[in-house]
Structure 1
Amino acid sequence: MPEFINLTPENIADEHLCCIIRSRTKHPGVEAKRAWLRDRLASGHVFRKLNARGTCFIEYAPLDAAWTPIVGDNYYYIYCLWVLPPFRGHGYGAELLNYCIDDARRAGASGVCMLGADRQRAWLSDQNFARTHGFKTVDKTNNGYELLALSFDGTVPHFPDAVKSPHIDTDILTIFYDDQCPYMAQTIDMVREYCTAHNVPVNLHHVDSVAAAKSLPCVFNNFAVFYRGVFQTVNLLTADALARILSE
Protein backbone atom coordinates (compact mmCIF):
# COMPACT_ATOMS: atom_id res chain seq x y z
CA MET A 1 0.00 0.00 0.00
CA PRO A 2 1.28 3.51 -0.79
CA GLU A 3 2.24 5.63 2.19
CA PHE A 4 1.07 9.24 2.42
CA ILE A 5 2.37 11.73 4.95
CA ASN A 6 1.42 15.23 6.08
CA LEU A 7 4.05 17.88 6.55
CA THR A 8 4.41 18.97 10.17
CA PRO A 9 6.61 21.41 12.10
CA GLU A 10 8.77 18.39 12.98
CA ASN A 11 9.38 17.07 9.44
CA ILE A 12 8.99 20.06 7.11
CA ALA A 13 12.69 20.97 7.19
CA ASP A 14 13.69 17.60 5.74
CA GLU A 15 10.81 16.48 3.54
CA HIS A 16 10.76 16.88 -0.23
CA LEU A 17 8.10 19.40 -1.30
CA CYS A 18 7.03 17.42 -4.38
CA CYS A 19 8.13 20.13 -6.78
CA ILE A 20 9.72 19.23 -10.13
CA ILE A 21 12.50 21.75 -9.48
CA ARG A 22 15.75 19.81 -9.21
CA SER A 23 18.75 21.42 -7.53
CA ARG A 24 21.84 20.07 -5.77
CA THR A 25 21.84 23.10 -3.50
CA LYS A 26 19.00 24.78 -1.66
CA HIS A 27 16.73 26.44 -4.23
CA PRO A 28 15.49 29.92 -3.19
CA GLY A 29 11.95 29.26 -4.41
CA VAL A 30 11.69 25.91 -2.65
CA GLU A 31 13.07 27.33 0.59
CA ALA A 32 10.73 30.34 0.40
CA LYS A 33 7.82 27.94 -0.04
CA ARG A 34 9.06 25.84 2.88
CA ALA A 35 9.21 28.91 5.13
CA TRP A 36 5.79 30.13 3.93
CA LEU A 37 4.19 26.76 4.59
CA ARG A 38 5.88 26.33 7.97
CA ASP A 39 4.27 29.57 9.11
CA ARG A 40 0.84 28.45 7.87
CA LEU A 41 0.65 25.02 9.52
CA ALA A 42 -0.65 26.39 12.80
CA SER A 43 -3.61 28.00 11.00
CA GLY A 44 -4.73 24.71 9.50
CA HIS A 45 -2.86 24.50 6.20
CA VAL A 46 -2.35 20.91 5.07
CA PHE A 47 0.29 19.61 2.68
CA ARG A 48 -0.20 15.87 2.15
CA LYS A 49 2.03 13.91 -0.19
CA LEU A 50 3.04 10.48 -1.30
CA ASN A 51 6.07 9.40 0.69
CA ALA A 52 8.27 9.34 -2.38
CA ARG A 53 10.54 11.73 -4.20
CA GLY A 54 8.31 13.08 -6.93
CA THR A 55 5.20 15.13 -7.58
CA CYS A 56 2.11 13.68 -5.92
CA PHE A 57 0.43 15.95 -3.37
CA ILE A 58 -2.50 18.08 -2.30
CA GLU A 59 -2.34 21.40 -0.49
CA TYR A 60 -5.38 22.97 1.15
CA ALA A 61 -6.53 25.13 4.07
CA PRO A 62 -9.62 26.43 5.82
CA LEU A 63 -10.95 29.17 3.55
CA ASP A 64 -10.75 31.84 6.25
CA ALA A 65 -7.00 31.16 6.49
CA ALA A 66 -6.42 30.66 2.75
CA TRP A 67 -4.56 33.34 0.80
CA THR A 68 -7.30 33.92 -1.75
CA PRO A 69 -10.07 36.55 -2.09
CA ILE A 70 -12.97 34.09 -1.96
CA VAL A 71 -15.84 34.58 0.48
CA GLY A 72 -17.50 31.63 2.17
CA ASP A 73 -18.52 30.49 5.62
CA ASN A 74 -16.85 27.37 6.99
CA TYR A 75 -15.32 26.17 3.71
CA TYR A 76 -12.00 24.55 2.85
CA TYR A 77 -9.94 25.75 -0.12
CA ILE A 78 -7.69 23.62 -2.34
CA TYR A 79 -4.60 25.46 -3.56
CA CYS A 80 -3.13 22.62 -5.54
CA LEU A 81 -3.70 18.96 -6.37
CA TRP A 82 -0.86 17.75 -8.56
CA VAL A 83 0.12 14.25 -9.65
CA LEU A 84 2.77 13.67 -12.32
CA PRO A 85 4.20 10.49 -13.89
CA PRO A 86 5.12 7.91 -12.79
CA PHE A 87 2.44 8.33 -10.12
CA ARG A 88 -0.52 8.82 -12.44
CA GLY A 89 -2.92 5.98 -13.10
CA HIS A 90 -2.76 4.53 -9.58
CA GLY A 91 -5.68 6.36 -7.98
CA TYR A 92 -3.42 8.62 -5.93
CA GLY A 93 -5.15 11.80 -7.04
CA ALA A 94 -8.52 10.44 -5.93
CA GLU A 95 -7.04 9.29 -2.63
CA LEU A 96 -5.58 12.73 -1.95
CA LEU A 97 -8.77 14.58 -2.91
CA ASN A 98 -10.92 12.24 -0.83
CA TYR A 99 -8.60 12.79 2.14
CA CYS A 100 -9.21 16.55 1.87
CA ILE A 101 -12.98 16.05 1.55
CA ASP A 102 -13.06 13.68 4.53
CA ASP A 103 -10.90 16.08 6.55
CA ALA A 104 -13.34 18.90 5.84
CA ARG A 105 -16.31 16.73 6.83
CA ARG A 106 -14.62 15.69 10.08
CA ALA A 107 -14.03 19.36 10.88
CA GLY A 108 -17.73 20.11 10.38
CA ALA A 109 -17.05 22.27 7.32
CA SER A 110 -19.76 23.28 4.87
CA GLY A 111 -17.76 22.11 1.87
CA VAL A 112 -14.59 22.36 -0.20
CA CYS A 113 -13.85 24.82 -3.01
CA MET A 114 -11.15 25.56 -5.57
CA LEU A 115 -10.37 28.03 -8.34
CA GLY A 116 -11.20 26.97 -11.89
CA ALA A 117 -11.87 28.50 -15.28
CA ASP A 118 -14.02 28.17 -18.38
CA ARG A 119 -11.06 26.30 -19.88
CA GLN A 120 -8.28 24.55 -18.02
CA ARG A 121 -5.42 26.89 -17.03
CA ALA A 122 -1.90 25.50 -16.76
CA TRP A 123 -1.32 26.57 -13.15
CA LEU A 124 -4.71 25.51 -11.77
CA SER A 125 -5.67 22.04 -10.55
CA ASP A 126 -7.55 19.74 -12.94
CA GLN A 127 -11.13 20.96 -12.66
CA ASN A 128 -12.57 18.14 -14.77
CA PHE A 129 -11.12 15.68 -12.27
CA ALA A 130 -12.73 17.66 -9.45
CA ARG A 131 -16.09 17.58 -11.24
CA THR A 132 -15.98 13.78 -11.30
CA HIS A 133 -15.90 14.00 -7.49
CA GLY A 134 -18.97 16.23 -7.27
CA PHE A 135 -17.54 19.74 -7.59
CA LYS A 136 -19.75 22.20 -9.45
CA THR A 137 -19.38 25.76 -10.69
CA VAL A 138 -20.99 28.06 -8.12
CA ASP A 139 -19.73 31.47 -9.26
CA LYS A 140 -17.99 33.10 -12.22
CA THR A 141 -16.00 36.21 -13.04
CA ASN A 142 -16.56 38.24 -16.19
CA ASN A 143 -13.17 37.17 -17.56
CA GLY A 144 -13.43 33.40 -17.64
CA TYR A 145 -12.59 32.23 -14.12
CA GLU A 146 -14.89 30.02 -12.08
CA LEU A 147 -15.32 29.00 -8.47
CA LEU A 148 -15.90 25.28 -8.06
CA ALA A 149 -17.35 23.86 -4.86
CA LEU A 150 -18.46 20.61 -3.31
CA SER A 151 -21.14 21.64 -0.82
CA PHE A 152 -22.06 19.43 2.13
CA ASP A 153 -25.00 21.54 3.36
CA GLY A 154 -26.30 23.50 0.37
CA THR A 155 -24.37 26.71 1.09
CA VAL A 156 -21.82 27.95 -1.44
CA PRO A 157 -18.89 30.39 -1.43
CA HIS A 158 -18.62 33.28 -3.88
CA PHE A 159 -16.31 35.84 -5.44
CA PRO A 160 -16.47 39.44 -4.15
CA ASP A 161 -17.85 41.91 -6.69
CA ALA A 162 -14.41 43.46 -7.30
CA VAL A 163 -13.00 40.04 -8.16
CA LYS A 164 -15.80 39.36 -10.64
CA SER A 165 -14.91 42.53 -12.58
CA PRO A 166 -11.17 43.01 -11.96
CA HIS A 167 -9.57 46.36 -12.73
CA ILE A 168 -6.80 48.54 -11.31
CA ASP A 169 -6.14 52.23 -11.91
CA THR A 170 -2.76 52.02 -13.58
CA ASP A 171 -1.58 51.07 -17.06
CA ILE A 172 1.76 49.81 -15.72
CA LEU A 173 2.44 46.08 -15.73
CA THR A 174 1.43 45.03 -12.21
CA ILE A 175 1.99 41.64 -10.61
CA PHE A 176 0.74 40.39 -7.25
CA TYR A 177 2.50 37.30 -5.89
CA ASP A 178 3.18 35.35 -2.72
CA ASP A 179 5.58 32.54 -1.79
CA GLN A 180 3.11 29.64 -1.92
CA CYS A 181 4.63 28.24 -5.13
CA PRO A 182 8.29 27.13 -5.34
CA TYR A 183 8.49 28.52 -8.89
CA MET A 184 7.74 32.04 -7.71
CA ALA A 185 11.30 33.21 -7.04
CA GLN A 186 12.57 32.35 -10.51
CA THR A 187 9.43 33.77 -12.13
CA ILE A 188 9.81 37.12 -10.38
CA ASP A 189 13.53 37.19 -11.21
CA MET A 190 12.68 36.60 -14.88
CA VAL A 191 10.10 39.41 -14.86
CA ARG A 192 12.58 41.84 -13.30
CA GLU A 193 15.29 40.93 -15.80
CA TYR A 194 12.94 41.10 -18.79
CA CYS A 195 11.47 44.45 -17.78
CA THR A 196 14.92 45.92 -17.14
CA ALA A 197 16.24 44.68 -20.49
CA HIS A 198 13.21 45.99 -22.40
CA ASN A 199 12.73 49.20 -20.41
CA VAL A 200 9.26 48.15 -19.23
CA PRO A 201 7.95 49.76 -16.03
CA VAL A 202 6.65 47.16 -13.60
CA ASN A 203 5.02 47.16 -10.17
CA LEU A 204 5.74 43.98 -8.20
CA HIS A 205 3.58 43.55 -5.11
CA HIS A 206 4.65 40.85 -2.68
CA VAL A 207 1.49 39.67 -0.92
CA ASP A 208 2.70 39.03 2.61
CA SER A 209 -0.41 38.35 4.68
CA VAL A 210 -3.76 36.60 4.46
CA ALA A 211 -5.46 39.99 4.88
CA ALA A 212 -3.58 41.39 1.89
CA ALA A 213 -4.50 38.35 -0.21
CA LYS A 214 -8.17 38.62 0.68
CA SER A 215 -8.27 42.29 -0.32
CA LEU A 216 -6.90 41.71 -3.83
CA PRO A 217 -9.06 42.96 -6.74
CA CYS A 218 -8.87 39.72 -8.76
CA VAL A 219 -8.78 35.94 -8.57
CA PHE A 220 -5.59 34.80 -6.88
CA ASN A 221 -4.09 31.42 -6.12
CA ASN A 222 -0.54 32.74 -5.66
CA PHE A 223 0.01 34.99 -8.71
CA ALA A 224 -1.96 37.59 -10.68
CA VAL A 225 -1.04 39.87 -13.57
CA PHE A 226 -2.56 43.18 -14.71
CA TYR A 227 -1.55 45.22 -17.74
CA ARG A 228 -3.12 48.52 -18.80
CA GLY A 229 -5.48 48.12 -15.88
CA VAL A 230 -6.88 44.84 -17.21
CA PHE A 231 -6.48 41.50 -15.49
CA GLN A 232 -4.45 39.06 -17.61
CA THR A 233 -3.80 35.72 -15.90
CA VAL A 234 -3.11 33.67 -12.78
CA ASN A 235 -0.54 31.61 -14.70
CA LEU A 236 3.08 32.07 -13.74
CA LEU A 237 4.80 33.70 -16.71
CA THR A 238 7.51 32.65 -19.09
CA ALA A 239 9.41 35.33 -21.00
CA ASP A 240 7.39 34.50 -24.13
CA ALA A 241 4.09 34.77 -22.26
CA LEU A 242 5.13 38.12 -20.80
CA ALA A 243 6.11 39.38 -24.25
CA ARG A 244 2.69 38.40 -25.61
CA ILE A 245 0.89 40.30 -22.86
CA LEU A 246 2.99 43.42 -23.45
CA SER A 247 2.39 43.28 -27.21
CA GLU A 248 -1.40 43.30 -26.92
Structure 2
Amino acid sequence: MTDFVNLTPENLADQHLCCIIRTTKSHPGVEAKRRWLSDRLREGHVFRKLNAKGAVFIEYAPLETAWVPVTGDNYYYIYCLWVSGPYKGKGYAKALMEYCLADAKRNGKSGVCMLGAEKQKAWLSDCSFARKFGFEVVDTTDNGYELLALSFDGTTPKFAENAKKLCIENQVLTIYYDMQCPFILRNLETIKQHCEALGVPADFIEVDTLRKAKELPCVFNNWGVFYKGKFETVNLLDAAALERILKK
Protein backbone atom coordinates (compact mmCIF):
# COMPACT_ATOMS: atom_id res chain seq x y z
CA MET A 1 0.00 0.00 0.00
CA THR A 2 2.98 2.31 0.18
CA ASP A 3 4.00 2.25 -3.49
CA PHE A 4 2.51 5.62 -4.37
CA VAL A 5 4.13 8.73 -5.81
CA ASN A 6 3.09 12.39 -5.79
CA LEU A 7 3.71 14.42 -8.90
CA THR A 8 6.19 17.29 -8.46
CA PRO A 9 7.71 19.86 -10.82
CA GLU A 10 10.80 17.65 -10.86
CA ASN A 11 9.12 14.35 -11.84
CA LEU A 12 6.13 15.66 -13.84
CA ALA A 13 7.80 15.16 -17.22
CA ASP A 14 8.72 11.54 -16.49
CA GLN A 15 5.59 10.19 -14.81
CA HIS A 16 2.72 8.79 -16.86
CA LEU A 17 -0.67 10.36 -16.17
CA CYS A 18 -3.00 7.58 -15.20
CA CYS A 19 -6.09 8.45 -17.26
CA ILE A 20 -4.46 7.50 -20.57
CA ILE A 21 -2.09 4.54 -20.44
CA ARG A 22 -2.56 2.70 -23.71
CA THR A 23 0.12 4.44 -25.71
CA THR A 24 3.78 5.23 -25.23
CA LYS A 25 3.65 7.88 -27.96
CA SER A 26 3.27 11.57 -27.26
CA HIS A 27 -0.42 12.30 -26.68
CA PRO A 28 -1.67 15.89 -27.10
CA GLY A 29 -4.20 15.54 -24.28
CA VAL A 30 -1.58 14.24 -21.87
CA GLU A 31 0.86 16.97 -22.79
CA ALA A 32 -1.85 19.61 -22.32
CA LYS A 33 -2.54 18.13 -18.89
CA ARG A 34 1.16 18.28 -18.00
CA ARG A 35 1.26 21.97 -18.91
CA TRP A 36 -1.86 22.63 -16.85
CA LEU A 37 -0.42 20.72 -13.89
CA SER A 38 2.93 22.49 -14.07
CA ASP A 39 1.17 25.71 -13.09
CA ARG A 40 -1.15 24.11 -10.55
CA LEU A 41 1.41 22.15 -8.51
CA ARG A 42 2.91 25.31 -7.06
CA GLU A 43 -0.58 26.29 -5.86
CA GLY A 44 -0.81 23.24 -3.64
CA HIS A 45 -2.50 20.95 -6.19
CA VAL A 46 -1.91 17.28 -5.38
CA PHE A 47 -1.80 14.43 -7.89
CA ARG A 48 -1.04 11.15 -6.11
CA LYS A 49 -0.86 7.93 -8.09
CA LEU A 50 0.12 4.30 -7.81
CA ASN A 51 3.66 3.81 -9.05
CA ALA A 52 2.43 1.62 -11.91
CA LYS A 53 1.04 2.06 -15.42
CA GLY A 54 -2.54 1.91 -14.31
CA ALA A 55 -5.45 4.23 -13.60
CA VAL A 56 -5.07 4.52 -9.83
CA PHE A 57 -4.92 8.10 -8.56
CA ILE A 58 -6.45 10.97 -6.63
CA GLU A 59 -6.30 14.61 -7.63
CA TYR A 60 -7.23 17.45 -5.29
CA ALA A 61 -6.42 21.08 -4.53
CA PRO A 62 -7.09 23.88 -2.06
CA LEU A 63 -10.64 25.03 -2.78
CA GLU A 64 -9.46 28.62 -3.09
CA THR A 65 -7.37 27.69 -6.15
CA ALA A 66 -9.52 24.82 -7.46
CA TRP A 67 -10.91 25.51 -10.93
CA VAL A 68 -14.54 24.96 -9.94
CA PRO A 69 -17.42 27.35 -9.09
CA VAL A 70 -17.46 26.30 -5.45
CA THR A 71 -16.77 28.63 -2.54
CA GLY A 72 -15.66 27.96 1.01
CA ASP A 73 -12.85 28.63 3.43
CA ASN A 74 -9.92 26.33 4.05
CA TYR A 75 -11.20 23.23 2.24
CA TYR A 76 -9.66 20.75 -0.15
CA TYR A 77 -11.59 19.95 -3.33
CA ILE A 78 -11.29 16.48 -4.86
CA TYR A 79 -11.38 16.66 -8.65
CA CYS A 80 -11.03 12.95 -9.24
CA LEU A 81 -10.48 9.69 -7.39
CA TRP A 82 -10.16 6.81 -9.81
CA VAL A 83 -9.24 3.14 -9.64
CA SER A 84 -9.97 0.94 -12.65
CA GLY A 85 -9.33 -2.43 -14.25
CA PRO A 86 -7.30 -5.06 -12.41
CA TYR A 87 -6.49 -2.62 -9.61
CA LYS A 88 -10.04 -2.63 -8.24
CA GLY A 89 -10.73 -4.41 -4.99
CA LYS A 90 -7.20 -4.08 -3.63
CA GLY A 91 -7.80 -1.20 -1.22
CA TYR A 92 -6.14 1.45 -3.37
CA ALA A 93 -9.14 3.80 -3.42
CA LYS A 94 -9.40 3.61 0.36
CA ALA A 95 -5.68 4.32 0.72
CA LEU A 96 -5.89 7.34 -1.60
CA MET A 97 -8.92 8.80 0.16
CA GLU A 98 -7.33 8.27 3.56
CA TYR A 99 -4.19 10.03 2.35
CA CYS A 100 -6.23 13.05 1.21
CA LEU A 101 -8.15 13.25 4.50
CA ALA A 102 -4.95 12.90 6.55
CA ASP A 103 -3.28 15.56 4.41
CA ALA A 104 -6.22 17.90 5.02
CA LYS A 105 -6.05 17.38 8.79
CA ARG A 106 -2.27 17.72 8.84
CA ASN A 107 -2.56 21.06 7.07
CA GLY A 108 -5.33 22.33 9.35
CA LYS A 109 -8.05 22.26 6.71
CA SER A 110 -11.69 22.63 7.65
CA GLY A 111 -12.68 19.68 5.49
CA VAL A 112 -12.76 18.11 2.06
CA CYS A 113 -15.43 18.41 -0.64
CA MET A 114 -16.22 17.06 -4.10
CA LEU A 115 -18.81 17.26 -6.87
CA GLY A 116 -21.47 14.57 -6.93
CA ALA A 117 -24.95 13.95 -8.25
CA GLU A 118 -28.26 12.56 -7.04
CA LYS A 119 -27.86 9.95 -9.79
CA GLN A 120 -24.24 8.83 -10.29
CA LYS A 121 -22.63 10.42 -13.37
CA ALA A 122 -20.12 8.52 -15.48
CA TRP A 123 -17.40 11.18 -15.29
CA LEU A 124 -17.68 11.87 -11.56
CA SER A 125 -16.02 9.99 -8.71
CA ASP A 126 -18.16 7.46 -6.88
CA CYS A 127 -20.41 9.34 -4.45
CA SER A 128 -21.42 6.20 -2.53
CA PHE A 129 -17.76 5.49 -1.84
CA ALA A 130 -17.26 9.01 -0.46
CA ARG A 131 -20.27 8.64 1.81
CA LYS A 132 -18.60 5.66 3.50
CA PHE A 133 -16.02 8.14 4.83
CA GLY A 134 -18.70 10.49 6.17
CA PHE A 135 -19.18 12.83 3.20
CA GLU A 136 -22.63 14.42 3.22
CA VAL A 137 -24.59 16.57 0.78
CA VAL A 138 -24.16 20.22 1.78
CA ASP A 139 -25.54 21.96 -1.32
CA THR A 140 -27.54 21.09 -4.43
CA THR A 141 -28.58 22.48 -7.81
CA ASP A 142 -32.04 22.31 -9.31
CA ASN A 143 -30.95 19.66 -11.82
CA GLY A 144 -29.63 17.03 -9.45
CA TYR A 145 -25.96 17.88 -8.91
CA GLU A 146 -24.69 17.82 -5.36
CA LEU A 147 -21.77 19.18 -3.38
CA LEU A 148 -20.54 16.57 -0.94
CA ALA A 149 -18.36 17.53 2.00
CA LEU A 150 -16.68 16.01 5.01
CA SER A 151 -16.39 18.81 7.55
CA PHE A 152 -13.90 18.71 10.40
CA ASP A 153 -15.11 21.88 12.15
CA GLY A 154 -18.79 22.29 11.29
CA THR A 155 -18.26 24.76 8.42
CA THR A 156 -19.45 23.87 4.94
CA PRO A 157 -18.61 25.00 1.39
CA LYS A 158 -21.28 25.75 -1.20
CA PHE A 159 -21.80 26.18 -4.92
CA ALA A 160 -21.18 29.72 -6.11
CA GLU A 161 -24.51 31.39 -6.91
CA ASN A 162 -23.49 31.67 -10.57
CA ALA A 163 -23.06 27.88 -10.70
CA LYS A 164 -26.77 27.49 -9.98
CA LYS A 165 -27.78 29.72 -12.86
CA LEU A 166 -27.67 26.82 -15.34
CA CYS A 167 -28.55 28.99 -18.31
CA ILE A 168 -26.83 31.31 -20.77
CA GLU A 169 -28.04 33.67 -23.47
CA ASN A 170 -26.27 31.79 -26.25
CA GLN A 171 -28.67 29.32 -27.88
CA VAL A 172 -26.19 27.27 -29.90
CA LEU A 173 -24.34 24.26 -28.52
CA THR A 174 -21.83 25.74 -26.07
CA ILE A 175 -19.10 23.81 -24.30
CA TYR A 176 -16.92 25.19 -21.53
CA TYR A 177 -13.72 23.22 -20.94
CA ASP A 178 -10.26 23.35 -19.42
CA MET A 179 -7.16 21.22 -19.95
CA GLN A 180 -7.16 19.32 -16.68
CA CYS A 181 -8.44 16.05 -18.17
CA PRO A 182 -6.30 14.29 -20.81
CA PHE A 183 -9.45 13.22 -22.66
CA ILE A 184 -10.59 16.81 -23.30
CA LEU A 185 -8.67 17.56 -26.50
CA ARG A 186 -9.68 14.34 -28.23
CA ASN A 187 -13.30 14.82 -27.19
CA LEU A 188 -13.29 18.38 -28.50
CA GLU A 189 -12.01 17.18 -31.87
CA THR A 190 -14.73 14.52 -32.05
CA ILE A 191 -17.51 16.94 -31.18
CA LYS A 192 -16.23 19.63 -33.57
CA GLN A 193 -16.05 17.14 -36.43
CA HIS A 194 -19.51 15.82 -35.70
CA CYS A 195 -20.99 19.31 -35.52
CA GLU A 196 -19.36 20.23 -38.83
CA ALA A 197 -20.72 17.08 -40.47
CA LEU A 198 -24.23 17.86 -39.20
CA GLY A 199 -24.00 21.57 -39.95
CA VAL A 200 -24.59 22.38 -36.27
CA PRO A 201 -23.14 25.69 -35.03
CA ALA A 202 -21.20 25.41 -31.81
CA ASP A 203 -19.08 27.54 -29.49
CA PHE A 204 -16.15 26.08 -27.55
CA ILE A 205 -14.98 28.26 -24.66
CA GLU A 206 -11.71 27.44 -22.94
CA VAL A 207 -11.68 28.12 -19.22
CA ASP A 208 -8.06 29.19 -18.93
CA THR A 209 -8.01 31.16 -15.68
CA LEU A 210 -9.12 30.55 -12.12
CA ARG A 211 -11.44 33.54 -12.29
CA LYS A 212 -13.26 32.16 -15.33
CA ALA A 213 -13.71 28.84 -13.56
CA LYS A 214 -15.13 30.44 -10.42
CA GLU A 215 -17.58 32.53 -12.47
CA LEU A 216 -19.02 29.72 -14.63
CA PRO A 217 -22.82 29.55 -14.97
CA CYS A 218 -22.91 25.82 -14.16
CA VAL A 219 -21.32 23.10 -12.08
CA PHE A 220 -17.98 22.16 -13.58
CA ASN A 221 -15.27 19.58 -13.11
CA ASN A 222 -13.38 20.47 -16.36
CA TRP A 223 -16.33 20.30 -18.80
CA GLY A 224 -19.81 21.83 -19.08
CA VAL A 225 -22.33 21.60 -21.93
CA PHE A 226 -25.20 23.97 -22.79
CA TYR A 227 -27.77 23.73 -25.56
CA LYS A 228 -30.57 26.18 -26.37
CA GLY A 229 -29.36 28.22 -23.42
CA LYS A 230 -29.84 25.41 -20.90
CA PHE A 231 -27.19 23.44 -19.04
CA GLU A 232 -27.03 19.78 -20.06
CA THR A 233 -24.14 17.89 -18.45
CA VAL A 234 -20.60 17.76 -17.04
CA ASN A 235 -20.05 14.48 -18.92
CA LEU A 236 -17.75 14.27 -21.92
CA LEU A 237 -19.76 13.48 -25.04
CA ASP A 238 -19.60 10.82 -27.69
CA ALA A 239 -21.50 11.15 -30.96
CA ALA A 240 -24.57 9.38 -29.60
CA ALA A 241 -24.75 11.58 -26.49
CA LEU A 242 -24.34 14.69 -28.62
CA GLU A 243 -27.16 13.65 -30.93
CA ARG A 244 -29.46 13.03 -27.97
CA ILE A 245 -28.83 16.59 -26.79
CA LEU A 246 -29.34 18.06 -30.24
CA LYS A 247 -32.73 16.35 -30.56
CA LYS A 248 -34.09 18.31 -27.60
Identify the TM-score tier after normalising by the shorter chain: over 0.9
Whole-Å separation in 1 of the counterparts to 2:165 and 2:206: 22
Note the aligned Cα RMSD (angstroms).
Answer: 0.9
Name the residue aligned to 2:52. Answer: 52
Name the residue aligned to 1:63. Answer: 63
CA deviations over 1:73-95 (Å, ceiling 9, x no partner): 11100000000121111111011
Structure 1 residue 163 displacement after superposition: 1.6
CA contact (8 A) 2:82 2:125 kept: yes
CA contact (8 A) 2:163 2:215 kept: no
CA contact (8 A) 1:79 1:114 kept: yes
Q: TM-score, normalised by structure 2?
A: 0.98
Letter in 1 for 2:47: F
Letter in 2 for 1:146: E
**Residues 127/230 of structure 1: CA separation in 2 closer, same or farther (3 Å cut):** same
Letter in 1 for 2:64: D
Name the residue aligned to 2:134. Answer: 134
CA deviations over 1:4-37 (Å, ceiling 9, x no partner): 1100011110101112452232010011011111
- Residue 246 of structure 2: SS of its match in structure 1? helix
Structure 1 residue 204 displacement after superposition: 0.4
Number of residue pairs matched? 248
- Residue 191 of structure 2: SS of its match in structure 1? helix
Whole-Å separation in 2 of the counterparts to 1:42 and 1:75: 17
Q: Structure 1 vs Structure 2: percent identity of aligned residues? A: 61
- Residue 112 of structure 1: SS of its match in structure 2? strand
Letter in 2 for 1:187: N
CA contact (8 A) 1:142 1:165 kept: no
Name the residue aligned to 1:166. Answer: 166
Query: What is the correspondence of 1:70-81 to structure 2 with a 5 Å cutoff?
Result: 70-81=70-81
CA contact (8 A) 2:160 2:214 kept: no
CA contact (8 A) 1:3 1:50 kept: yes
Whole-Å separation in 1 of the counterparts to 2:169 and 2:191: 21
Whole-Å separation in 1 of the counterparts to 2:21 and 2:238: 15
- Residue 224 of structure 1: SS of its match in structure 2? strand
Whole-Å separation in 1 of the counterparts to 2:165 and 2:25: 43
- Residue 47 of structure 2: SS of its match in structure 1? strand
Letter in 2 for 1:135: F
Q: Does 1:94 align with 2:100?
A: no
Name the residue aligned to 1:25. Answer: 25
Whole-Å separation in 2 of the counterparts to 1:20 and 1:83: 13
Q: TM-score, normalised by structure 1?
A: 0.98
Name the residue aligned to 1:213. Answer: 213
Letter in 1 for 2:182: P
Structure 1 residue 107 displacement after superposition: 1.0
